[in-house]
Amino acid sequence: MESEAKTLVADVSYFEPLELHLREKPYISNVPFAETEGAWDNLNQVKHSQEMVNIRGHEDEFSFPQHGFQYVQHSFSHSPTDHIHSLEHPYVKEVEEFLLARFGASAIFVYDASIRKVGIDGYFQQADAAHIDHTEENCLWRLELAMKHLGLLGVQPRRFQIITAWRPLMKQVTSWPLADA
């Protein structure tokens, strides 16, 4: 990356390993508990200072094959402004077509489409801690769901990728660092 990229130090929250996690899997629930007044999570966050590089203006220096992520400019005709209640939504179909063309995949299976609106009740909020979106177990489970959906249950693909497509829906996000490596 060119030397003119600016760096800054930011406090980043990380999940602290707890003794509790030796017997209970760490969790966060975005779904209200109807039966009990159970805890929404069993985590503790600790902040650590982390040097960040502001890559704005350098987006074209990153490629999916080399860096595992890539910035892509694309205009969608059916951008949602509210909850996506079905994976049949025109926007989801457009994303599928885009990914098929972009990656040359033989099949695409979109398993989720969520709208986040910061500070608005009823919408998922941004993650406020460093995290990994998918574990190996989760990836294999999602692959099984995809193969079943595609009518290929029992078929072992030679290769598969799980891609998280993230985009600001209305305007550029200027806060909350998206990623740190």
* Per-residue pLDDT, 66: 94
* Average pLDDT for the chain: 84
Q: Please report whether residue 29 resides in a domain.
A: yes
pLDDT at 18 over 70: yes
CB 14 within 8 A of CB 129: yes
3-class secondary-structure state, position 74: coil
Structural domain harbouring 137: 6-149
What's the total number of domains in the chain?
1
The amino acid that residue 74 corresponds to is H
- Residue 40 counted as domain residue: yes
Residue 56 maps to a domain: yes
Q: Position of tokens 């979109």?
A: 110
Beta-bridge partner residues of 14: 46
How does pLDDT run across 145-168, given as a tens digit for each residue? 999 988 998 888 888 888 888 876
Show the CA angle centred on residue 157, arms to residues 153 and 159, nearest 5°. 145
- What share of the chain in percent tops pLDDT 70? 87
Max Cα–Cα distance, the chain, nearest Å: 55
| pLDDT band at residue 4 under the 50/70/90 scheme | low
The predicted-structure confidence for 34-89, as pLDDT tens digits, reads as follows: 667 778 899 999 999 989 888 888 989 999 999 988 988 888 898 888 888 888 99
Counting Cβ atoms within 10 Å, is residue 164 exposed (0-12), middle (13-18) or buried (19+)?
exposed
pLDDT of amino acid 43: 93
**Where do we find the tokens 């595992």?**
68
| More confident of the two residues 29 and 136 | 136
In a domain, 96, yes or no: yes
Q: 143 near 159, Cβ under 8 Å? A: no
| Bigger pLDDT: 55 vs 20 | 20
What pTM was computed for the model?
Answer: 0.73
Considering the domain boundaries, does residue 64 fall inside one? Answer: yes
